[in-house]
């Protein structure tokens, strides 16, 4: 079940909100947990029991770790917690990838392949793992006390607004909200409005451009022209942004409706003037997690050797790529971004600063689009052939683009790059600003209701409603 499905919008969400609103305060967390388990079980009915069992085990492990007086015992229990959670991720997400590559190597030297029953990838496993890790590590570091009640920990891990695709919520940032949070009518109205902004991004922009990208990416390489290859990849570039940022808006809005304040996940990433800046604006919670739980423990910026610093950057982004999927194209995508982060520190960052805002933004956007090509096409040979078509200029034929695609592409461009101008940034800030003014709530809520109805109609009339990050 995803947020942009009719089942969620017209059945699950209304029932959830009505029961939550009518419930006494003592039952509200229980209801979120019950709804979250049902939400997850709908998409992964078998794996939900694995999640529940491992989460319960982890809760008591961390409780024991916190109560332990010996540092050695604390460290041992932390390692055990990390190994359990990473072990689940490794098995469910990477076992198939590992066996496939081992079999390829064995067959290459004349041995028989290993017989293997493929493991089904559970939804949201990567986000689940990062949330469990931040809990055990934050408690170990003394950043925050552990939760006292098991059902509150299950709620933190399994809360349906952000479990499937984030934002990745660090434990210390939300712990106090689980046990004691304020709910106001202003927050509920703004939450619904924010949810509908995300729904509009997803349905009216991401889905439309996604259909165009899908059509072009299916074209045989020998029939693909250079302009069409660029059109397809630009469509995908905007699809993945509006798809994922739209989902994050919906998650933040849902959280707001029930009193939670989730962290922002995007900040006009295509306005970036360098790849370093891009990663401060794109999937912010992932970057924050990688920085605090991987990059800084490796030494961060304090390492004495420049070579060690560059190696750490590359390692972090290699793992970031691997986190996104069990395929070599994701690893290449991570290494690609790591390479440009190193170039930024060597010389490219200074060059981009000197040439001005617009040229540096265009160059960075170009690099990002090339990166998305690596991300979008899992077959490595096909990926490089596609990249070759983008730069071959052998055929300059341009396919006829439907008016719907053209208009949507123009809207995507305007919204994506509005932050480059002061007026555009001011409009964006006004659209996303919270308020207690009833005269501002009225038009916002009216627009949100209209968007909600139109989005439901669009979803019901179409059989194309993918969500790219759903499988991560």
Which residue intervals of 68-184 are DSSP H helices?
71-89, 95-108, 125-141, 150-158, 160-163, 171-179
Question: Which residues, in sequence order, are CB contacts of 58 under 8 Å at separation 6+?
Answer: 81, 84, 85, 132, 135, 136
Is residue 166 within 8 Å of residue 285, measured between CB atoms? yes
DSSP 168: -
Q: Check: CB of residue 467 under 8 Å from CB of residue 243.
A: yes
Among 324, 337, 382, 441, the one annotated catalytic: 324
Residues 6+ apart with CB under 8 A from 274: 344, 348, 349, 352, 360, 364
Closest CA to 321 of 339, 333, 311, 313: 333
- Known active-site residue 324: yes
| 252 three-state secondary structure | helix
Residue 258 DSSP code: T
3-state secondary structure of 93: helix
Who's near 434: CB < 8 A, 6+ residues apart?
186, 187, 190
Which positions are catalytic? 324
């Amino acid at each position: 079940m995803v947020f942009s499905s009719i089942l969620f919008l017209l059945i699950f969400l209304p029932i959830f909100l009505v029961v939550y609103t009518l419930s006494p305060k003592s039952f509200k967390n229980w209801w979120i947990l019950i709804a979250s388990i049902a939400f997850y079980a709908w998409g992964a009915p078998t794996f939900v029991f694995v999640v529940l069992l491992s989460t319960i085990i982890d809760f008591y492990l961390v409780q024991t770790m916190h109560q332990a007086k010996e540092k050695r015992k604390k460290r041992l229990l932390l390692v055990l917690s990390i190994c359990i959670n990473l072990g689940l991720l490794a098995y469910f997400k990477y076992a198939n990838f590992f066996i496939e590559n081992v079999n390829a190597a064995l067959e290459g030297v004349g041995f028989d392949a290993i017989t293997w029953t493929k493991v089904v990838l559970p939804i949201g496993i990567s986000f689940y793992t990062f949330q469990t890790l931040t809990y055990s590590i934050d408690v170990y570091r003394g950043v925050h006390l552990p939760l006292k009640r098991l059902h509150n920990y299950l709620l933190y891990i399994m809360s349906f607004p952000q479990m499937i695709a984030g934002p990745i919520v660090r434990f210390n940032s939300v712990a106090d909200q689980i046990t004691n949070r304020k709910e106001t009518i202003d927050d509920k109205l703004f939450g619904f409005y924010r949810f509908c902004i995300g729904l509009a991004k997803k349905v009216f922009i991401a889905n439309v451009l996604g259909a165009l990208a899908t059509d072009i990416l299916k074209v045989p390489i020998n029939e693909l022209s250079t302009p069409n290859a660029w059109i397809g990849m630009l469509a995908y570039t905007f699809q993945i942004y509006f798809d994922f940022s739209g989902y994050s808006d919906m998650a933040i809005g849902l959280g707001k409706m029930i009193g939670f304040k989730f962290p922002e996940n995007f900040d006009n990433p295509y306005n970036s003037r360098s790849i370093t800046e891009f990663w401060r604006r794109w999937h912010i919670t992932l970057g924050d997690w990688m920085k605090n739980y991987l990059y800084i423990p490796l030494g961060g910026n304090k390492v004495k050797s420049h070579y060690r610093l560059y190696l750490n950057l590359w390692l972090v982004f290699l793992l970031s790529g691997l986190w996104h999927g069990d395929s070599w194209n994701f690893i290449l995508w991570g290494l690609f971004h790591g390479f440009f982060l190193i170039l930024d520190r060597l010389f490219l960052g200074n060059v981009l600063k000197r040439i001005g805002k617009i040229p540096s933004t265009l160059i960075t956007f170009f690099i990002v689009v090339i990166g998305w090509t690596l991300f979008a096409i899992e077959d490595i040979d096909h990926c490089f052939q596609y990249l070759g078509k983008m730069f071959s200029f052998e055929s300059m034929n341009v396919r006829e683009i439907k008016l719907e695609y053209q208009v949507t592409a123009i809207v995507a461009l305007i919204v994506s790059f509005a932050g480059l101008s002061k007026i555009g940034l001011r409009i964006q800030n006004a659209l996303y600003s919270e308020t207690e003014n009833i005269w501002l709530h009225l038009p916002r809520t009216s627009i949100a209701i209209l968007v909600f109805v139109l989005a439901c109609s669009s979803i019901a009339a179409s059989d194309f409603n993918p969500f790219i990050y759903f499988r991560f």
